[in-house]
Amino acid sequence: MFDTIGQLPYRRFVFAFFVLFVFATSIMEIIDEFDDGETLAMMADDVSKFILSAIVLAVFGFEYVSQQRALADLRGQLEKARGRLAKVYPQSRKLASQYRAVMQDQFDAWHLTESEQDVVIMLLKGLSFREIADLRETREKTVRQQASSVYRKAGVASRNELAAWFFEDMLDPPPVEAQS
């Protein structure tokens, strides 16, 4: 339920606002009716709305905090991954820079927007559409549309074909030397 509601930031805001509104009106009704001399048993409907909205707010808050922690963890993992190759192979920064220039030339040939280029890089790193949307602070649907646009411009049908386009030449086996 919360994943569906939480996919779009404005939906999350509207949902939280609605629950807060129910929570606040329930409190005000309970206080008002209590001042009028009613007992808690007589205010069962207001008390139940109050309790239910408090539970929903607590769950919503927990989910939000969990999502923020997961996003921070994902950002941390990306940062850690960014230097591993450089430690293993000293020339990797130079090679990565050269390959990134080759990729940029292809991005330019395909007329990719800056956002589409970001999506391609993250797709090649293996991130899901949801993770890309979270990192770019946009909707998953937007990322999917950008990926589809990239596939169309690149003349490929999927993420796998896109990755193969960039890595196929590098993964060919070395040429076999003629034996004497």
Q: Kindly give the confidence (pLDDT) of every residue in the chain, 180 residues in length, as a single tens digit, with 9 standing for 90 and above.
A: 334 434 456 777 787 788 888 888 888 888 888 888 888 777 788 888 888 888 888 888 888 888 889 888 888 887 777 666 666 666 777 777 888 888 899 999 999 999 999 999 999 988 999 999 988 989 999 999 999 999 999 999 999 999 888 887 666 666 666 555
Q: Where does residue 133 rank: exposed (0-12), middle (13-18), buried (19+ CB within 10 A)?
A: buried
- Inside any domain, residue 179: no
28 and 77 assigned to the same domain? yes
27 and 72 assigned to the same domain? yes
Backbone φ/ψ region at 65: left (φ over 0), alpha (ψ -120 to 50), beta: alpha
Please provide residue 111's backbone torsions phi and psi, each rounded to the nearest 5 degrees.
Answer: 60, 45
Q: Smallest Cα–Cα separation from 167: which of 120, 127, 132, 131?
A: 120
- Inside any domain, residue 101: yes
Q: Which domain holds residue 115?
A: 85-171
- pTM assigned to the model: 0.53
Q: How far is CA 167 from the centre of its chain?
A: 25
Give how far Cα 56 sits from Cα of 27, 62, 65, 100, Å: 15, 10, 14, 47
90 and 69 assigned to the same domain? no
Domain stops at, among 44, 61, 81: 81
Domain stops at, among 31, 56, 81: 81
98 and 151 assigned to the same domain? yes
